[in-house]
Chain A
C-alpha cells in the first residue's frame, strides 16, 4: 500500500516536472521567436553588431580630449574653450526645468485633488485621471515639437512641454499621496462649515505636503535631464549646442558639453536628494 502511494506521488511529481519543462521550453521558444522577429524588424544581425560596436567605440574614443601632463592647463582650456557660453546655457536649462516644474505643479496640485478617489465624486475622478494620463503619455519631445511650431523657437516651447508632461505625471502621484491621507481632518473641516477647497487645503494638504514636495523635487531632477535634450528640436537650453557639436563632428566639444551636463545633473541630484530627505523627515525616503 505505501509502495503504491509512493509510486502515485512519484507519478505526480514526474507529471509536474514534465509540465514545468514543457512550460519552460514553450516560454523559451516564444522568447527566441520574439528576439528573432525583433532582430529582423530592427535590422540587427550579429555581424552588424560586431561591425557596429567597434565603430561606436571608436567614435567615443575620438571625443576624448587630448591631454598632456606637460601642458595640462592649456589643454584643458582648449578643450573647454566655450566654457562661459556653455555654463550660461546650462543656467538656461536649469531655469527651464525650474519654471516647467513649477508650472506643472501649479496645474497638477488642483487636478490631483479631483483625481483622488477618496476625495472627489466618481465621474470627476475618472475624467481628471484620463486627462492626466493623456498629458503624461505624450512624450515631452513630441509636445516640444508641437509647441515649437505654435510658440516659435526657443526655451518657451521647452518650458511648456516640460510643464504639460510634469502636470500629467505629478497629478497622478500627488493624487496617490492624497488618497493615503486620513479622512478625519477633512470631516472636521467640513463639520466646521469649510467648503470643498477649504477641506482640501486644511484637511488633506497638511498631511500630504511632505510627499508632494518630495515628488516635486524628484520631478525637477528628471526635468533637468529632459531640458538638456529639448534643444535638439529647437526648444532652448544646452541641447542646441550639443546638437550642433554632434552635427558638425566637433568631437571634443561633445565630450566637454556632456561632461558639464553630467556634472550639473549630479550636483542637482545631490542637492535635491538632501532636500528630499529633509522634507520627508521621519518618513522613509
Chain B
C-alpha cells in the first residue's frame, strides 16, 4: 500500500533518467532513421546465408567452442566443489571462513567472462585455452555459490546417522551429504554447460578461441552472408545443446 503515493515520483524520475540517457547516447531521429536503413541494407546483404566455401573451418570453430564450454564447465566444477564445502555453514562451522568464501565467490563471478578472456589471452596467449580458463573462473564462483546453497539446504539427519554409525567427518560428508545434493548439483552443472555453450561462441571476438573469431572477422570485412550463416550455426548448436541437456536433466530428476 505504501508504494502508491511513491508511484508518480518513481515515474517522474524514471522518465527524466530515460530522457537523459537517450540524449547521452545521441539518439536523434535522424540517426535512428539512417541506422535503420543501413540495417535494412545489411539484412538484404545477409540473404541468402552462405558458408562461403569455409564450412570445414567453421565446423571446427564450432567444435572448438563446444569443447571450450565442456572443459570450462568441468574445470569450474572441479574447483567449485572444495570451495563450496568450505563455504557451506553446515560442513565447516566457521562463520569467518563462510563469509570470506562467499565474498570470494562474488568476486569471481562479478567479473564478466569476456573480461576474464581478455586477461587470459594476455596471460597465456590467444587460442581456446584462454577461453577455457575464462569460462572456468567466473563459473567457479557461480557453481561454488549454488553448490554451497544446495549443501546448506540438505537434510542434516542423514549426516548425523552416518556420524552415529562411527564415521569420521569426511566420510559423513561423502556418504551423508553429497548423495543428497548430487542430483541438484548435476542439474546446475548442466545449466552452466548450456550457458557456457552460448558464451563460448563469442569469446573468439577477443581472440580466445572458438567460432567467435570467424564471426568477428566476417563482420569486419563485410562478408555479411557468411556472418549470417555463422549466426545460424550458433543458434543451431545452442538449440541442440539445450535439447540434449534437458533430456539428461529429466533423466536425473526421475531416474
Contact = CB atoms under 8 A, between A and B. Distances in A.
B171 interface: no
A249 B111 CA distance: 18
Interface string B56-86: 0000100110111011001000000000000
B216 A145 contact: yes
B9 interface: no
- Contact residues on A (Cβ < 8 Å of other chain), bracket: 35 or more
A42 B128 contact: yes
Nearest to A148: B219
Nearest to A96: B25
B35 A152 contact: yes
- Contact residues on B (Cβ < 8 Å of other chain), bracket: 35 or more
Interface in B27-49: 27, 31, 35-36, 38-39, 42
A243 B207 CA distance: 13
A262 B219 contact: no
A30 to B, nearest CB: 12
Given A42-B67, A98-B21, A141-B205, A154 B119 contact: no
A137 B235 contact: yes
Contacts of B67: 37-42
Contacts of B21: 95-96, 98-99, 159
Contacts of A34: 70
Interface of A: 34-35, 37-44, 48-49, 52, 55-56, 58-60, 92, 95-96, 98-99, 102, 134, 137-139, 141-142, 145-147, 149-152, 154-156, 158-159, 225-226, 228-229, 232-233, 236, 242-243, 246, 249, 254, 258, 261-262, 265-266, 278-279
28 contacts: A34-B70, A35-B71, A48-B129, A52-B124, A52-B133, A56-B124, A59-B119, A60-B119, A95-B17, A95-B21, A95-B25, A99-B21, A99-B25, A102-B14, A139-B202, A142-B202, A145-B205, A150-B39, A151-B39, A152-B35, A155-B26, A228-B112, A232-B205, A233-B205, A233-B216, A246-B119, A278-B3, A279-B3
